[in-house]
Structure 1
Amino acid sequence: MSDARSGYRLGIALVMAAAIAWSTAPFFTRLLPIDSWTILFWRGLFGGSLILVFLTLAQGQVGLRDLITMGRGGWLVASLSTLAMVAFIPALQVTSATNVAVIIATQPFVAAAMAWAWFREAAPLRTLVAALAAFCGVAITVGNAQAASDVRGIALACLMVLAVSAMTVAIRRYKQTSMVVAAALSNFLGSVVSFPFAHDIVNVTGAEIFILAMFGFFQVAMGLTFFVLGSRLLPSGQASLIATLETPLMPFWIWLAFRELPTSRALVGGALVMSAVVADVVIGESRARSHR
């Protein structure tokens, strides 16, 4: 039981770290005046390379051999992750950020439903309630946007949510597969898919290359690696719920770097999301302690 509690706590810490890393995406994007496909290409290249470096340092040649011999579980996770990454940026281009954010907020529900359909993993009632509260918080945060909806952008955002939810469930289904290797592969696949559409690959400046490297190393590599590792230790619905901390943290980095104050709606919505996550984690930890 002690080992189970330690794994549960580690899973929470890793997924929270992933949310913090992922939340820096608007900061890096704001610094890059280039097309999104070029960003995806370089970000994936740098992110995948860093994951391979970590893998080599941690496992040596065994880790690299896993990349070559990866089974269908790893390829499934890598493909789903790539699909989510490729759908995300174009969705932001053709529809409002409000539409995308609200759709993404439904991801814990989708992941929990997929987990139940795939291997009958029932989400605790507290997680479902907390997911509903988190959705309300995100809706409050972005609900004041006035931009009109775009069908293609909404479809891409829905595709991203489906891909991330399926990836979350697949990570728990194929626990014996090296998912860190899958994370590296997904970044490289993202670069391959983006290459035909990227127009500024050879025109980026030295400063932009540095920013792209930091984007790939921190936001992509660390975020995806932490989430892959943490999701193996938590129920799928809860892992997705904790990852929603990414949304209220995004305005913080923009304020820190550009002194743009978040709106009162963003503060209220962010507080609701964080409260939902903290409540779910605290209650889960309390119940785990009572069953020792």
Structure 2
Amino acid sequence: MLFPTLSSHTKGLVLTTIGGLALSLDVPLVRLGDGDVWSVTALRSLTTVAATFILWFLVRRFTSSRPPLVPGWAAAFAALLYGLSSMAFLGAVFNTTTANVVFIVAFTPMFAALLSWLFLGERPGVSTLVTMAIMIVGVGLIVENGLSAGHWLGDLLSALTALLIGGAITIGRATQREMGFVPLIATVIPAAIALLMVVPAGYHVANPFWVMLDGGIMLPLAFWCLATGPRYLSASEVGMFYLLETILAPIWVWMIFSEVPALQSLAGGAILIGALVGYSLWQMRSRSRSLATPLSH
């Protein structure tokens, strides 16, 4: 049992902090690889697939849990969306600034809320709708800057990434199946497509160690920790730790590559982060109030 001396809430905080920190290193490690998009995609994805099978075997061998890799056809469709989102994300990294990528991808939970409303009939609350409207303003500022700077393709791919992940999350919510391994095994899709592109064009990754570190350790660690967090924390609390990537990734890239985000992108990112933090705090406060309210008989 992990961290046996800690309370459940503290365990959740530790796990999600580790997961958020690991996820924040994704973009810097991809860029440190210094390769073309298809070669990096192939290497990163193949390493993640290998790590997933090793992790799945260890879980089944040394614990009583028997999690399926892909639990059903709905999960297979979710895996397709996750796989396509991985390709869109890497395409965005190579076609716009890191700040633009992580700021726009932060819109994922709002896409998930919108899709759940459209397909599951889960009408979002007023706080969700207000947050969504504020975030649209922030994303609009970032995209407008991307258009003027010639980064429109990367910004579009970032938005597509958020939409695809939101769709996969909605499927998971609809099926209520255990999908912890689905985002990881889904990397077989970009791996296969990237290999088809690499074979005729040639392989080029100057520093493969960084890409393999990302795909083999950081991504599995991040997804496992963040997927385990909801066992101990509310969804709104877990969502706060996804913001570590939004906040820290541009800082790591600035420190390593001296890439300074445009002021308009920073302004849009500040609006996004502020909206998400406010929304998460409101959700936690509402949850605390509901738990504190005694049941009537």
TM class by shorter chain equals: 0.7 to 0.9
The answer to which of 152-161 and 9-18 deviates more is 9-18
Contact 1:131 1:241 (8 Å CA) reproduced: no
Unaligned runs of 5+ in 2: 1-6, 292-297
Deviation at residue 103 of structure 1 after TM alignment: 5.7
Pairing 1:75-154 to 2, within 5 Å after superposition:
75-91=76-92, 93=94, 96-97=96-97, 104=105, 106-140=107-141, 144-145=145-146, 146-148=148-150
The answer to which of 141-150 and 112-121 deviates more is 141-150
| CA 32–123 in structure 1, closer or farther in 2 if over 3 Å, else same | same
Unaligned runs of 5+ in 1: 1-5
Pairing 1:271-290 to 2, within 5 Å after superposition:
271-290=270-289
Contact 1:108 1:238 (8 Å CA) reproduced: no
1:181 matched to 2:169? The reply is: no
1:190 matched to 2:187? The reply is: no
| CA 261–100 in structure 1, closer or farther in 2 if over 3 Å, else same | closer
What percentage of residue pairs aligned between the two structures are identical? 23
Deviation at residue 187 of structure 1 after TM alignment: 1.6
Structure 2 length-normalised TM:
0.73
1:252 matched to 2:254? The reply is: no
Contact 2:27 2:93 (8 Å CA) reproduced: no
Aligned partners of 1:17 and 1:133: how far apart in 2? 29
The answer to which of 127-136 and 188-197 deviates more is 127-136
Q: CA RMSD in A?
A: 3.9
Contact 2:239 2:280 (8 Å CA) reproduced: no
| CA 129–21 in structure 1, closer or farther in 2 if over 3 Å, else same | farther
Pairing 1:23-42 to 2, within 5 Å after superposition:
23-42=24-43
Partner of 1:66: 68
Pairing 1:157-172 to 2, within 5 Å after superposition:
157=158, 159-172=160-173
Contact 1:55 1:180 (8 Å CA) reproduced: no
Count of aligned pairs between the two proteins: 279
Deviation at residue 76 of structure 1 after TM alignment: 1.9
Contact 1:12 1:234 (8 Å CA) reproduced: no
Deviation at residue 83 of structure 1 after TM alignment: 1.0
Partner of 1:51: 52
Aligned partners of 1:73 and 1:250: how far apart in 2? 32
| CA 170–239 in structure 1, closer or farther in 2 if over 3 Å, else same | farther
Structure 1 length-normalised TM:
0.74
Aligned partners of 2:9 and 2:121: how far apart in 1? 20
**3-state SS in 1 of match to 2:188:** helix
Deviation at residue 227 of structure 1 after TM alignment: 4.7
Deviation at residue 166 of structure 1 after TM alignment: 0.7
Aligned partners of 1:126 and 1:13: how far apart in 2? 28
Deviation at residue 279 of structure 1 after TM alignment: 1.9
The answer to which of 25-34 and 138-147 deviates more is 138-147
Deviation at residue 288 of structure 1 after TM alignment: 1.2
